[in-house]
């Protein structure tokens, strides 16, 4: 047989999935970073952006405040001590604060610098009078230094420049910058660690889903994703996954059991066919080897075995048909059908007693295929006559309740043991092999009967006792009276 077994198909699927899973693991499709790394990097980057932004804002504001204070001091200096006559006259006693420097340029061009602190401001950089500006120290200074300076011109043409070193402010700003950098670094490290921790925690269920999926791909089909609250996304995902896995497993198991049933059926059928074939070969060999010259005997035996094989093949076909065909459902009067079955059986078994007892008050109608239901009942009646023994009588009783019509086919024949009664609806089962084979039964009759009854939405059961007889009960859904007129109109 070219078809693969379900087991092999399942193995192929799991193998394929496992291979796919492995190849995915060994050859990642791209160099993409995992989502958790991206989340951590993104969190740290956004935090860094915020920290840099706020540091720049603080820095700019701080600078503004400090410079405006210096500018106020300069303006005050210009208005107070810078105008001091003493200072201009070069007196050594000066009220000028020590951090300031004053440069006086007389109309004649003479320059006088007081307290240049070794790094005099380069006053040439001042382009506007009366406005404080930041300038550098002159090139020959001891150290490079920034000055804040303001220049005014007196009525006599003397230019007075008052400057203040920006060293204290710049030191303050540098200190502030360092503190900000340290705080930013600590905050970023903490943010990185915290986001790594929380992202890992949030992703933990997904990792479990992943490892479960991998385990399933590697063949552990019973594994399931742990259940989380359905309020969460992962909870919903795991619920849907588990549902899907359950359904997949069910259909796989169903396919496996159908495959198993089919295999058993083919095995049983071959076995059943082999028995008459072996007999056929046996008789032909017997004749060929000269063990008998009774041609009539050999031909009769061959004919018997061929009939048995024909019967078996016909029953196999009937079973396949019963399982595969769609019934043509119509309202069927079971009383009429039962009477017709009884008369068919009487014709086939002349002289045997077949009684029909109807305890229904109204017509017992079911929806069904009349030919198939005839086949079902006739099979039960013939079984009673055949397997019950020569003396057995068959009694058919018809009754109904609110929902069902019940047909009881009982015989007072040889009966069966309880275990035999349990198995008689299975294919090829025969309660008493020698007798049944002798009677030519294929062991398929009741399997076909059961299939047909179930196709009608009914059930069949048996109660039997050795030496007492067998009682078969068929329950079929009764066609409600309300449904009858329209059905009858159709006919
Ligand atoms: P078969 O073709 O052998 O009749 P069935 O499926 O109809 O196959 O029946 C299966 C077996 O059940 C029979 O071989 C027989 O042993 C047993 N059986 C069925 N009906 C009866 C009955 N009314 N009384 C005793 N045995 C029965």
pLDDT tens readout for residues 220-265 = 888 888 888 888 888 888 899 899 989 998 999 999 988 988 888 8
Looking at residue 13, its pLDDT comes to 43
For ligand 1, atom 27, the nearest C-alpha belongs to 387
Structural domain containing residue 296:
222-325
- Among 252, 262, 324, smallest CA distance to 13 is for 252
User: Would you give the distance in Å from CA 458 to the centre of its chain?
Assistant: 37
Looking at residue 84, its pLDDT comes to 67
Tally of structural domains, the chain: 2
**22 falls within a domain:** no
Ligand 1 centroid, distance to 430 Cα (angstroms): 6
280 is written with which tokens? 């056929």
Q: Which helix (H) or strand (E) element contains residue 167?
A: helix 167-217
Query: What pLDDT, in 10s, does the model give residues 397-431?
Result: 999 988 999 999 999 999 999 989 999 998 888 87
353 is written with which tokens? 């007693």
Looking at residue 99, its pLDDT comes to 87
Ligand 1 centroid, distance to 410 Cα (angstroms): 13
Looking up tokens 């004919």, which residue turns up?
Answer: 303
Whole-angstrom Cα distance, residue 206 to residue 275? 60
Clarify whether residues 315 and 456 are in a common domain.
Answer: no
For ligand 1, atom 20, the nearest C-alpha belongs to 383
pTM of the model: 0.54
Residues touching ligand 1 (Cβ under 6 Å) are: 383-384, 387-388, 411, 413-416, 424, 429-432, 436, 441-447, 470
Whole-angstrom Cα distance, residue 126 to residue 152? 11
Instruction: List the beta bridge partners of residue 330.
Output: 368
Long-range contacts of 96-99 (CB under 8 A, 24+ apart): 99/164, 99/165, 99/168
Looking at residue 2, its pLDDT comes to 40
**473 falls within a domain:** yes
Clarify whether residues 236 and 332 are in a common domain.
Answer: no
Looking up tokens 């990792």, which residue turns up?
Answer: 207
Clarify whether residues 334 and 313 are in a common domain.
Answer: no
Buried b (16+ CB within 10 A) or exposed e, 329-340: bebbebbebbee
Residue to probe by mutation, ligand 1, list 418, 445, 460, most atoms within 8 Å of CB: 445
Ligand 1 centroid, distance to 95 Cα (angstroms): 135
Looking at residue 482, its pLDDT comes to 63
Measured between its terminal Cα atoms, the distance across the chain in Å is 47
Clarify whether residues 246 and 259 are in a common domain.
Answer: yes
For ligand 1, atom 14, the nearest C-alpha belongs to 430
Ligand 1: nearest atom to the Cα of 444: 6
**477 falls within a domain:** yes
Looking at residue 176, its pLDDT comes to 93
Clarify whether residues 390 and 312 are in a common domain.
Answer: no
Instruction: List the beta bridge partners of residue 146.
Output: 136
Ligand 1 centroid, distance to 398 Cα (angstroms): 22
For strands 354-358 and 365-368, give the pairing: unpaired
**144 falls within a domain:** no
Chunked in runs of 10, what are the mean pLDDT values of the chain (491 residues)?
Answer: 44 46 51 82 94 94 94 89 60 69 90 88 91 92 91 89 92 94 95 93 85 88 86 87 90 90 84 86 89 88 88 84 80 94 93 93 91 93 92 94 94 92 88 54 87 94 94 93 56 43
Percentage with pLDDT > 90 across the chain: 46
């Amino acid at each position: 047989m070219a078809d693969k077994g379900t087991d092999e198909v399942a193995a192929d699927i799991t193998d394929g999935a496992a291979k796919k899973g492995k190849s995915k693991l060994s050859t990642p499709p791209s160099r993409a970073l995992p989502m958790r790394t991206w989340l951590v990097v993104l969190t740290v980057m956004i935090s860094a952006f915020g920290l840099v932004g706020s540091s720049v804002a603080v820095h700019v504001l701080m600078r503004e405040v400090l410079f405006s204070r210096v500018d106020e001091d300069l303006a005050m200096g210009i208005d107070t001590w810078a105008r001091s006559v003493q200072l201009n006259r070069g007196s050594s006693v000066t009220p000028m604060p020590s951090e300031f420097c004053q440069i006086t340029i007389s109309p004649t061009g003479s320059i006088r610098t007081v307290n240049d602190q070794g790094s005099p401001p380069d006053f040439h950089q001042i382009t506007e009078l009366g406005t404080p500006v930041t300038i550098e120290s002159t090139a020959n200074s001891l150290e490079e230094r920034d000055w804040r300076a303001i220049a005014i011109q007196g009525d006599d043409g003397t230019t007075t420049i008052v400057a203040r070193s920006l060293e204290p402010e710049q030191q303050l700003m540098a200190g502030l910058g360092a503190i900000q950098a340290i705080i930013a670094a600590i905050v970023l490290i903490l943010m990185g660690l915290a986001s790594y921790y929380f992202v890992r925690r949030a992703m933990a269920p997904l990792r479990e889903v992943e490892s479960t999926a991998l385990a399933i791909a590697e063949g552990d089909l019973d594994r399931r994703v742990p259940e989380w609250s359905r309020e969460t996304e992962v909870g919903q995902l795991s619920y849907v996954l588990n549902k899907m896995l359950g359904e997949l497993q069910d259909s796989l198991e169903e396919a496996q059991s159908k495959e198993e049933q089919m295999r058993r059926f083919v095995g049983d059928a071959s076995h059943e066919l082999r028995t008459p074939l072996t007999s056929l070969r046996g008789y032909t060999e017997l004749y060929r080897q000269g063990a008998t010259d009774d041609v009539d005997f050999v031909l009769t035996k061959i004919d018997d075995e061929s009939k048995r094989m024909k019967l078996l093949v016909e029953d196999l076909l009937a079973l396949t048909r019963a399982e595969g065909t769609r019934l043509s459902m119509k309202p069927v009067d079971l009383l009429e059908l039962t009477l017709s079955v009884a008369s068919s059986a009487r014709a086939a078994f002349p002289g045997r007693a077949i009684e029909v007892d109807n305890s229904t008050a109204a017509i017992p109608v079911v929806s069904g295929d009349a030919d198939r239901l005839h086949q079902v009942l006739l099979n039960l009646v013939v079984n009673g006559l055949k397997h019950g023994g020569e003396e057995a009588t068959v009694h058919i009783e018809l009754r109904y309740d609110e929902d069902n019509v019940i047909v009881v086919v009982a015989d007072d024949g040889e009966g069966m043991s309880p275990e035999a009664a349990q198995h008689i609806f299975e294919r090829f089962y025969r309660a008493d092999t020698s007798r049944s084979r002798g009677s030519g039964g294929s062991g398929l009759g009741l399997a076909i009967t059961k299939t047909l009854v179930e196709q009608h939405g009914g059930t069949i059961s048996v109660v039997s006792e050795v030496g007492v007889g067998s009682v078969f009960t068929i329950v079929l859904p009764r066609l409600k009276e309300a449904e009858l007129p329209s059905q009858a109109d159709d006919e």
